[in-house]
Structure 1
Amino acid sequence: MKINRNDECWCNSGLKYKKCHMEFDEKLKSLKERGFEVPSHNIIKTKDQIEKIKESAKINNAVLDLVAENIKAGMTTEEIDKLVHDFTISQGAIPAPLGYHDFPKSVCTSINDEICHGIPSPERVLKDGDIINVDVSTIYNGYYSDASRMFMIGNVSEEAKRLVEVTKECLYKGIEAVKPWGHLGDIGAAIEAHAKANGYSVVEEFGGHGIGLEFHEEPFVYHYKGAKGMVLVPGMIFTIEPMINQGDADLYIDADNGWTSYTDDGKLSAQWEHMILVTEDGVEILSK
Structure 2
Amino acid sequence: MADEPLIALDAMGGDNAPGAIVEGAVTAARQLGVRVALVGQTEAVEWELARLAARPDSITLVDAPEVIEMDEHPAQAARQKKQSSIVVGLRMLKQREADAFVSAGNTGAIMAGAIMHLGRVRGIERPSLVGLLPFAGKLTAFLDVGANADARPEYLLQWAQMAAVYMEHVWKVERPSVGLLNIGEEESKGNAVVQEAYELLEASGLDFIGNVEGRDVPLGGADVIVTDGFTGNVVVKTMEGTADLIMSELRAAITSRPWYAVAGFVLTPAFGALRKKFDYREYGAGPLLGVNGL
TM-score, structure 2 as length reference: 0.26
Write 1 or 2 for the structure with the bigger share of strand.
1
TM-score, structure 1 as length reference: 0.27
Write 1 or 2 for the structure with the bigger share of helix.
2
